[in-house]
């Protein structure tokens, strides 16, 4: 699929199809685009009344493009020093951008900081070592075959309602487990897509029944409409989870963690306190003191 920006013609096509009440996935297939591209377009460029107007959307897109162009010249030396300081103390680019915005400190976006890091790497710098993943460059997203055993009666993400994609309502959650040292301990992380509200819990063992129990307990008092999880065997009791929470449990495609982007971001944050090789049981206090 194309990764170029949406054209004005495509926006008028989207507007026409939305008037016809076509689904996001249907529009994406007709335009040869990713469903996430269409959902992001609707989320960013809808009018105040929640309707999509192609002319309004094109105007918003052009305004953002001009803002991005002008922002490139706003990367001051003070910003560079602030970025360097915060990166080296362990903050991610997104955290730096978000905290600076909250603190009233002028700063470029998280994406600009990523671009700065990779340009620094190309010129021989070491800022990339401050990233959690410590990759020299971004890893391409690829799809591979599922080499693990299949869970029974899964409902795949392709059947998930398009409303979930645009984060337009509360109650849509993503979940995964974070494996500790020697695959002996786990943390279960759950995040609500619209609010980014996070729940972390630690099951007593790796059994699917135990994982189901802690997830039901963690979400029992929350609004839960959907839950999207990984294909790990710990989610084998997904039907019990769905029944207890009165929700629908969906599974992401194998090796497509980007389909649970909010949850993957949370897992990366948690890994700062529980690095790989850390036991979530024995090292919990020492990890949280960092």
Per-residue pLDDT of the chain (290 residues; tens, 9 = 90+): 445 789 888 999 999 998 888 899 899 988 989 888 898 898 888 887 778 998 888 888 888 777 666 655 578 889 999 999 999 888 888 889 888 988 989 888 888 898 889 888 888 888 888 887 655 455 554 444 444 457 888 999 988 988 898 888 999 999 999 887 666 668 899 999 999 999 999 898 889 999 999 999 999 999 999 999 999 899 999 999 999 999 999 999 887 888 888 898 888 888 877 776 666 554 444 443 44
pLDDT value of residue 257: 80
> How far, in Å, CA of 108 to CA of 253, rounded?
33
State the virtual CA torsion across 256, 172, 5, 158 in degrees, nearest 10: 50
Residues 6+ apart with CB under 8 A from 238: 151, 153, 154, 212, 229, 249, 251
Give, as one character, the DSSP assignment of residue 241.
Answer: H
pLDDT value of residue 140: 52
| Nearest C-alpha neighbor of 232 from the set 181, 175, 270 | 175
Residues 6+ apart with CB under 8 A from 189: 175, 176, 177, 178, 198, 199, 200, 263, 266, 267, 270
Both structure tokens of 246: 């009165």
Q: Helix or strand or coil: residue 10?
A: helix
Give, as one character, the DSSP assignment of residue 155.
Answer: -
> How far, in Å, CA of 192 to CA of 199, rounded?
9
Please tell me the pTM assigned to this model: 0.58
Both structure tokens of 192: 């609500």
pLDDT value of residue 281: 54
Both structure tokens of 259: 């389909």
> How far, in Å, CA of 116 to CA of 93, rounded?
10
């Amino acid at each position: 699929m194309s990764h170029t920006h949406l054209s004005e013609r495509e926006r008028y096509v989207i507007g026409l199809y939305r008037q016809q009440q076509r689904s996001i996935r249907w529009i994406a297939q007709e335009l040869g685009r990713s469903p996430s591209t269409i959902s992001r377009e609707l989320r960013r460029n809808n009018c105040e009344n929640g309707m999509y107007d192609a002319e309004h959307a094109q105007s918003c897109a052009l305004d953002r493009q001009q803002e991005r162009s002008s922002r490139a010249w706003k990367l001051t030396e003070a910003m560079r020093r602030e970025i360097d300081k915060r990166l080296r103390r362990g903050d991610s680019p997104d955290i730096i951008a978000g905290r600076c915005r909250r603190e009233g400190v002028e700063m470029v976006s998280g994406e600009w900081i990523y671009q700065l890091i990779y340009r620094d790497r190309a010129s021989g710098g070491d800022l990339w070592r401050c990233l959690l993943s410590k990759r020299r460059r971004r890893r391409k997203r690829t799809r591979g075959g599922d080499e693990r055993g299949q869970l029974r009666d899964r409902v795949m993400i392709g059947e998930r309602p398009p409303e979930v994609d645009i984060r337009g309502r509360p109650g849509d959650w993503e979940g995964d487990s974070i494996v500790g040292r020697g695959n002996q301990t786990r943390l279960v992380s759950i995040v609500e897509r619209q609010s980014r509200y996070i729940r972390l819990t630690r099951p007593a063992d790796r059994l699917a029944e135990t994982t189901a129990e802690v997830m039901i307990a963690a979400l029992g008092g929350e609004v839960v409409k959907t839950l999207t999880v990984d294909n790990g065997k710990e989610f084998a009791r997904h039907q019990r989870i769905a029944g207890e929470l009165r929700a629908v449990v969906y599974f992401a495609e194998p090796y497509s963690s980007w389909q649970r982007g909010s949850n993957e971001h949370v897992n990366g944050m948690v890994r700062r306190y529980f690095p790989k090789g850390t036991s979530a049981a024995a090292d919990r206090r020492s990890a949280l003191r960092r």
